[in-house]
């Protein structure tokens, strides 16, 4: 799981097995950030629409989770209004980070037996992306 900043550069990356749902990895990924400050907002797809995790991120880190509502929303829960969802159109930057990570052969397919080794290569790929796109 990767978190990117507003300019489209990775600021956090966490490697986990394929079985847990992505929403359960959000807190761990936010804790592993490489920057000093937490982001103000996180943008995710419909899978991130969880009131419990939304409140947890808001209370613990002050992060607003922006995700479109799922179709099976419970009756009585207030859906998000359209203003924060306008930021959802910028989600392509995160998809671009994932596409950049797929350019690294060692990251595309996990050949390593140990997760710590694979995590090191993911972090190296993120560092390479940051160096390539930063303006000195």
pLDDT digits (tens, 9 = 90+) for 91-113: 788 888 889 999 999 898 888 88
Average pLDDT over residues 113-130: 92
Asked whether 70 and 49 are in contact (CB, 8 A), the reply is yes
What is the pLDDT confidence band of residue 125, given thresholds at 50, 70 and 90? very high
| Residue 67 in tokens | 């995700």
Q: Coil, strand, or helix at residue 60?
A: helix
pLDDT tens column, 56-86: 888 888 888 887 777 766 655 656 666 667 7
SS3 43: strand
Asked whether the beta carbons of 84 and 66 are under 8 A apart, the reply is yes
pLDDT at 129: 92
Per-residue pLDDT tens over the stretch 4-49: 887 888 888 888 887 778 777 888 888 888 888 888 888 877 777 7
Q: What is the pLDDT of residue 24?
A: 79
Do 100 and 107 contact (CB within 8 A), yes or no? no
């Amino acid at each position: 799981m990767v978190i990117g900043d507003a300019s489209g550069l990775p600021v956090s990356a966490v490697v986990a097995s394929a079985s847990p749902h992505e929403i359960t990895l959000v807190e761990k990924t936010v804790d592993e950030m490489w920057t000093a400050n937490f982001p103000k907002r996180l943008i995710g797809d419909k899978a991130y629409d969880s009131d419990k995790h939304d409140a947890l991120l808001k209370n613990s880190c002050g992060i607003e989770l922006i995700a479109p509502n799922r179709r099976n929303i419970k009756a009585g829960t207030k859906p998000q209004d359209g203003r924060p969802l306008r930021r959802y159109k910028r989600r392509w930057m995160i998809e671009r980070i994932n596409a950049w990570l797929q350019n690294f052969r060692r990251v595309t397919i996990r050949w390593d037996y140990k997760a710590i080794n694979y995590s090191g290569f993911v972090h190296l790929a993120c560092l390479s992306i940051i160096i390539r796109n930063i303006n000195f």
